[in-house]
Homo-oligomer: A and B are copies of this chain.
């Protein structure tokens, strides 16, 4: 650890740190500790010195070692060597994000994407054929979905899989260069097999995108006939992952290469599916892959924590300026520095709490405990929104932490280089963030729509006028909040104290989410009533839709954090976390106070009071900054092989 080798500011109560860490670790503490221990073993620390090919070799070796240690198969059925515990598998994956992020992504490709496609889209014969070797990493696999011409718009991809009844085979073809598979992890070097997403055609008819198992290399590593692979080469980060491009030239695979849980083709080529609507079928298939999005969300949260530990350790030791004639002051004493670091820590806690809840829901759904379609869609909405916000948080906070460490943050050895460049792609892979926030918004609006029936042509909105708005208000308790609006104007309400009340904070956040959602719906409805082209209406409302997704997550995080605090018994820790939760909520309200005033929800006086309250909370939480970040339980090895311990400098 380059900034300081050990935390130098003693935490008043070391047992408090332990208790806080256990509380953060939650139900899957064994999985987290297994990965922490593995990361702490000699030779498992991130190595900033490796060149691309060495790095790839190292990452493959690490993945095999981790698999042997039981760290990668937790989510697979026990009969194939797995642990049968989806929640634990996500917790293990999240923890891996505290180490080398190329290893994380390699594991995500192998066990999440490739293994997940076989598990969720395949049936028993696919499980028997592939899962055991997948769990041990003996069979490295690819997830060949993305094409050059189509990133986010998967439904439009162009690779074809045509059934040939004469030979009882599928013929997989890349018809144009824009249909080549791109960014495929495990493809450039290690992959022997791929789950290839292609337009299924049989009997002259197309049935949309389906997944097929296609061998791409023999066990010696030779690329198979008809398959062409190119290396994506050096990237901005994650160079330990062998991303590649793949083309298929009429590659033939047997009929049972179709991962056929949701669609079968018989030997005459007759297509059948339990889901008749092709659109619904596509989204059901894609929906089973939600674990990837949930996992990236958790990984982003944990990578952010690594940066926060480094920045707080630095801020507690680095002295700059101070009162004339006296010792210089540690950075953490400065309000500007507290403002840079503490609201970000509060948001990491809120994200962590919400992530834990989301993983529990994922676990319930995939264990079969809870398979209702409503809960699946709620999970999809949450995963889309939270993945966007958590990865944006990672990008912003890691940058802020780097800058808060001055020159020292710019040393390669200090981990910020890797944290920045490796997490950067999180914002655009597993769904581009801007697209995901709109997906979340679409789901939320659709839920309202379903509540009232199918009324509009775009499948998005259409009933939000007059009385409907009242009903929404009813449903979401807006009425009650509206009733409180007048109170705001009374003297005595504009007190800081009120803003520190959790109920007030949650009301403010929920009210904003509801109001923005119904406003977006009315705006879309209004546009369509005008006779405007629905696509134009959608584009015109896009910024509003992004706000729908964002404000929904803002509230969701505060609620999850607040609920999670209820489970902590230690009154001292609870006091600290209560303040931290208030800091999260009020930071959001402070950032959005323009909106709150526009909508009559905050008076100008109370709006100013949010700024003061955030300052006050930063000051009160400052003595706990080290406790809060050390409790993340980041292994010391995760801070890198710094070649020297340095006090950093700020200028060149």
Within 8 Å of chain B (Cβ to Cβ): is A264?
no
| Residue on B nearest A596 in the bound complex, by CB | B594
The verdict on A413 contacting chain B, using a C-beta distance below 8 Å, is: yes
Chain B residue at minimum C-beta to C-beta distance from A243: B652
A233:B598 contact, CB within 8 angstroms: no
Quick check: is A532 within 8 A (CB to CB) of the other chain? Answer: no
Q: Does A55 contact B (CB under 8 A)?
A: no
- CB-defined contacts of A145 to chain B, threshold 8 Å: 651
Chain B residues whose CB sits within 8 angstroms of the CB of A43 once the complex forms:
none
Q: Is A76 an interface residue (CB 8 A)?
A: no
Q: Contact between B431 and A539 (Cβ–Cβ < 8 Å)? A: no
Query: A178 vs B646: C-alpha distance in the bound complex, in angstroms?
Result: 9
A151 and B183: CB pair below 8 A?
Answer: no
Cα separation A443 to B577 with both chains bound (whole Å) = 40
Report the stretch among A83-91, A132-140, A315-323, A496-504 that lies at the interface.
A315-323
Bound CA span A624–B151, Å = 26
Is A148 in contact with B410, judged by CB distance below 8 angstroms?
no
Alpha-carbon separation in the docked complex, A232 to B646 (Å): 11
The verdict on A428 contacting B413 (CB below 8 Å), with A183-B649, A652-B243 known, is no
Give A494 Cβ to nearest chain B Cβ, in Å: 12
A203 in the interface (beta carbon within 8 A):
no
Q: A410-B236, A411-B235, A533-B323 are in contact. Are A651 and B607 (CB under 8 A)?
A: no
- Which of B237, B335, B607, B650 has a CB less than 8 Å from the CB of A432? B650
Q: Mask for A44-67, Cβ within 8 A of B = 1, else 0? A: 000011010000000000000000
Q: Is the Cβ of B425 less than 8 Å from the Cβ of A652?
A: yes
* Chain B, Cβ-Cβ closest to A241: B652
- Residue in contact with A652 in the complex, picked from B149, B185, B409, CB distance below 8 Å: B185
Counting every copy of the chain, the complex holds 2
Chain B positions within 8 Å of A424 at CB level = 399, 402, 410, 420
The answer, among B147, B156, B234, B421, for a CB contact under 8 Å with A48, is B234
Query: Per-residue 0/1 for A553-588: is the Cβ within 8 Å of any B Cβ (1 yes, 0 no)?
Result: 000000000000000000000000000000000000
Chain B residues positioned under 8 Å from A207 (CB to CB): none
A535 at the interface (CB under 8 A from B): yes
Chain B residues with CB below 8 A from A590, complex form: 594
User: Measured between C-beta atoms, what is the minimum distance from A598 to chain B in Å?
Assistant: 4
Assess whether A470 is interfacial by the CB under 8 Å rule. no
Most buried by B among A334, A429, A594: A594
Contact yes or no, B235 A410, CB < 8 A = yes
With a cutoff of 8 Å between Cβ atoms, the chain B residues found around residue A337 in the complex are 434
Contact B643 A233 (CB under 8 A): yes
Considering only residues 605-642 of chain A, those with a C-beta below 8 Å from chain B are: 607-608, 615
Chain B: minimal CB distance from A114 (Å): 12
For residue A543, CB closer than 8 A to chain B, the reply is yes
Q: Is A648 part of the contact surface with B, judged by Cβ < 8 Å? A: yes
A412 touches B183 (CB 8 A): no
Which residues on the B side are within 8 Å of A151 (C-beta)?
Answer: 320, 406-407, 648-651
Number of interface residues of A (CB under 8 A): 97
In the docked arrangement, what's the CA distance between A594 and B233, Å? 46
**CA gap between A431 and B181 in the complex, in Å:** 46
Q: Is A328 an interface residue (CB 8 A)?
A: yes
Partner of A649, one of B148, B339, B596, B650: B148
Tell me the smallest distance from the CB of A649 to a CB of chain B, in Å.
4
Q: Which of B49, B109, B236 contacts A416 (CB 8 A)?
A: B236
A367 at the interface (CB under 8 A from B): no
Residues A520-549 near B (CB distance < 8 A): 533-535, 539-540, 542-543, 546
Tell me which residues from 300 to 355 in chain A have a Cβ below 8 Å from any Cβ of chain B: 320-323, 328, 333-337, 339-340
A543–B340 alpha-carbon span in the complex (Å): 10
Q: Mark A76-113, 1 if CB is under 8 A from B, else 0.
A: 00000000000000000000000000000100010000
Which residue in chain B gives the minimum CB-CB distance to A611?
Answer: B543
Chain B residue numbers with a CB within 8 Å of A534 are: 323
A428: which of B232, B409, B432, B598 is its contact (CB, 8 Å)?
B409
Given A417-B421, A608-B598; A323-B535 close (CB under 8 Å): yes
Q: How far is the CB of A180 from chain B (nearest CB, A)?
A: 10
Contact A148 B646 (CB under 8 A): yes
Q: How far is the CA of A648 from the CA of B425 in the complex (A)?
A: 13
Given the complex of chains A and B, what is the CA–CA distance between A441 and B641 in angstroms?
40
Residue in B236, B406, B646 whose CB lies within 8 Å of A420? B236
Given contacts A235-B417, A320-B151, contact A652 B430 (CB under 8 A): yes
Q: Is A551 an interface residue (CB 8 A)?
A: no
CB pair A428–B399 under 8 Å, yes or no, is: no
Question: Which residue on B lies nearest to A407, using beta carbons?
Answer: B183
Chain B residues closer than 8 Å to A167, beta-carbon distance: none
Q: Are A146 and B650 in contact (CB under 8 A)?
A: yes
Chain B residues, CB < 8 A from A546: 336
Q: Flag if A328 contacts B651 (CB, 8 Å).
A: no
Assess the B235–A335 pair: CB atoms within 8 A.
no
A361 within 8 A of B: no
CA distance A203 to B185 in the complex (A): 69
Residues of B within 8 A of A596 (CB): 594
Q: How far is the CA of A559 from the CA of B48 in the complex (A)?
A: 46
Q: Is A123 an interface residue (CB 8 A)?
A: no
Is the C-beta of A219 less than 8 angstroms from some C-beta in chain B? no
* CB-defined contacts of A335 to chain B, threshold 8 Å: 539-540, 542-543
Chain B nearest Cβ from A496, distance in angstroms: 15
A434, A599, A649, most chain B CB atoms within 10 A: A649
Q: Are B433 and A150 in contact (CB under 8 A)?
A: no
Going nearest first, the 5 A-B pairs with the smallest beta carbon separation are A151-B650, A594-B594, A234-B412, A323-B535, A593-B594
24 pairs of residues in contact across A and B, judged by CB atoms under 8 Å = A145-B651, A146-B649, A146-B651, A147-B649, A148-B646, A148-B648, A150-B649, A151-B406, A152-B650, A182-B407, A184-B652, A185-B652, A233-B412, A236-B420, A243-B652, A323-B533, A403-B427, A406-B432, A407-B428, A428-B650, A429-B651, A435-B650, A593-B594, A597-B598
Known: A151-B651, A234-B411, A403-B433. 6 other contacts (CB 8 A): A148-B647, A156-B328, A236-B410, A334-B542, A399-B399, A410-B428
